[in-house]
Structure 1
């Protein structure tokens, strides 16, 4: 606990700290650039595979499953194999894959299915996406670790 009027986060007198915006600006920039790429790819997939009224939202389902699998592979590689530059994870993990996967659209799709009189499809989509996305990230990370271990032997 600090005494009133003191700031425990202040740098000691005589030491220079860069302004927070200077250290965070590159991170924000790469997240934004990656997010634009990921969201563009997701939008292109949605245009290529449009949602039929009352139908199962396959484009969003596969976007989320594939995105989760790629996250599993990516996280193993940058944590177990490669000492990546500090901006790689924010660019690709948060930006590209965060922009590509779309759990907000997933929630909207479920609500729309229920509101349009297709609660069974909505419930199936709710459960299938949850199970498939979690399974995808787990299988992808386990398979990546196994391949890496096999290549090292």
Structure 2
């Protein structure tokens, strides 16, 4: 951390870099608008796919929220594959691919807010055991899915390159 310094009379001063942090950059909106657009489009696609999963496989009221668990684990697995492919195989991907697929589609598809709400509702509705099981199982399943999918994808990529 740099301490404030008042220059002596006649001492040369450098421009204050901290003042430039909040200054608007020329073209900043033009650079960010495409990212915002692909994230929004991807989010709409991912959220629609999640909604379809909940229509296709509805959960019984008060029962274990299997659909949300599977959606979150599947989304994390796809994210594991996606990150390996983009970093090891297709590193020169267009700059909008990651925000579209990662933040947009997979961010819209996975539903950790529903996970929190479902857990709270289960605990509040005298299904504390189910709620606590879901509370522990979801992050375990999500982390296992992303790790194992990334590991398997790396093994396949390495095997194909030999």
Q: Distance in 1 between matches of 2:54 and 2:15?
A: 53
Q: 1:105 aligns with which of 98, 106, 114?
A: 114
What is the DSSP-based 3-state SS (H/G/I as helix, E as strand, rest coil) of the residue aligned with 2:61? Answer: coil
Give the aligned CA root-mean-square deviation in angstroms: 1.8
Indicate the residue corresponding to 2:58 in structure 1: 50
| Deviation of 1:7 (Å) | 4.6
TM-score by length of 2: 0.85
The answer to which of 91-100 and 51-60 deviates more is 51-60
Q: Which is higher, the Rg of structure 1 or of structure 2?
A: 2
Q: Distance in 1 between matches of 2:110 and 2:77?
A: 11
Q: Does 1:70 align with 2:78?
A: yes
Structure 1 unaligned residues grouped into runs of 5+: 11-16
Q: Does 1:150 align with 2:150?
A: no
Give deviations 1:102-146, integer Å, cap 9, x for gaps.
100000000010111100000111111111110000000000000
Give deviations 1:56-102, integer Å, cap 9, x for gaps.
10110000000000000000000111021000000000000000001
Q: 2:102 aligns with which of 88, 93, 97?
A: 93
Q: Distance in 1 between matches of 2:139 and 2:119?
A: 12
| Deviation of 1:43 (Å) | 0.7
| Deviation of 1:3 (Å) | 7.1
Q: Does 1:134 align with 2:143?
A: yes
